[in-house]
Amino acid sequence: MPLMFHRMVIAGVGLIGGSLALAARKCKLVEEIIGFGRKEKNLHLAQRRGIIDRYFVNEDDIPRGTDLLILATPVQATVPLAISFLPRLGPGCLISDVGSVKGEIVQEMEKLLPAQISFVGAHPIAGSEQWGAKAAIPDLFFRCRCILTPTRKTDPRSVKKLGSFWRRLGARVEIMDPNLHDRILALVSHLPHVLAYALVNTLGRVDVDFVDLKDYCGGGFKDLTRIASSRPEIWRDICLVNRHAVSKSILEYMRCLEQLRKSIHGGEGDLLEKEFNRANELRRAIP
């Protein structure tokens, strides 16, 4: 099948950006892949692994002829980085991202870009608690859901092309309103990360007769808190950019938790079992 892009720049060659580069190379969708980042050690590792062909660390050095720019940085850096690249991007360049927050970013990018340069927000629902180029794998997006978040202002040809790009990587593409995306992800992704961080911090702040509680953590605690090993600055940015939806999700969780606390404190076994059964059934229904 023919190439889709000649020169792709990945800003942020970590788990997602690096895996995207490997997948695009494996599927032969891009002629040249160039990395950008602040940490030259990570970029050098990415080049040695064959994730990227070359790299640069100064925004002014973005190569001419870039026709696909992927912004795979923490979400608060997405728009400022696009601004710094923009003067050296030519007409026809397609810009996208891979971030877990969409509404604010899509709105800002639409204000920023000239008509001849398109932005299509994208969020592949894939990943792990690992980060950096060392964590990148070529099959990360195979059979994953990738949500595209165009608006009425988005060039439909760019949406079609980016959708085709992700499908050829093996992803299942879905179109969604950016603000709806943020409300959904606040509940199913952002809230669990906040809870994992809070649970681990609770362990560190509660004293039980000077016992080192970490020594007693079993599989349940470790499974529940695995994602607390995720890169902190990534989740700091996600929580701040999607703060309204995340705050609302935390309040909803607190209401559920308070009801459980009352049932436990009051010895209401029937109510407690009812809630546990409800959760059991819902969890079994998750694909």
Question: In terms of pLDDT, which residue wins out, 38 or 186?
Answer: 186
> What was the pLDDT predicted at 287?
86
Give the pair of three-digit tokens for residue 248: 């609302």
- Average pLDDT over every residue of 153-182: 96
Q: What is the pTM of this model?
A: 0.90
Measured at the alpha carbon of residue 168, what is the angle toward residues 165 and 171, in degrees to the nearest 5?
Answer: 90
Mean pLDDT of the chain: 94
pLDDT in tens, 87-135: 999 999 999 999 999 999 999 999 999 989 999 999 999 877 677 889 9
Give the pair of three-digit tokens for residue 54: 């070359």
Report the CATH architecture of 5-176.
3-Layer(aba) Sandwich (3.40)
Q: Say which residues have a Cβ less than 8 Å from residue 144's Cβ, sequence separation at least 6.
A: 124, 125, 126, 170, 171, 172
Q: Is 44 exposed, middle or buried (0-12, 13-18, 19+ CB in 10 A)?
A: middle
Task: Answer yes or no: is pLDDT of 246 > 70.
Answer: yes
Read off the amino acid at residue 158.
S
- CATH tag, 180-285: 1.10.3660.10
How far is 184 from 249, CA to CA, in rounded Å? 10
> What was the pLDDT predicted at 160?
97
Task: Answer yes or no: is pLDDT of 1 > 80.
Answer: no
> What was the pLDDT predicted at 128?
72
* % the chain with pLDDT above 70: 99
* % the chain with pLDDT above 90: 87
> What was the pLDDT predicted at 115?
87
Domain boundaries, the chain: 5-176, 180-285
pLDDT in tens, 42-70: 999 999 999 999 999 999 999 999 999 99
Among 5, 62, 65, 66, which Cα is nearest to 36's? 62
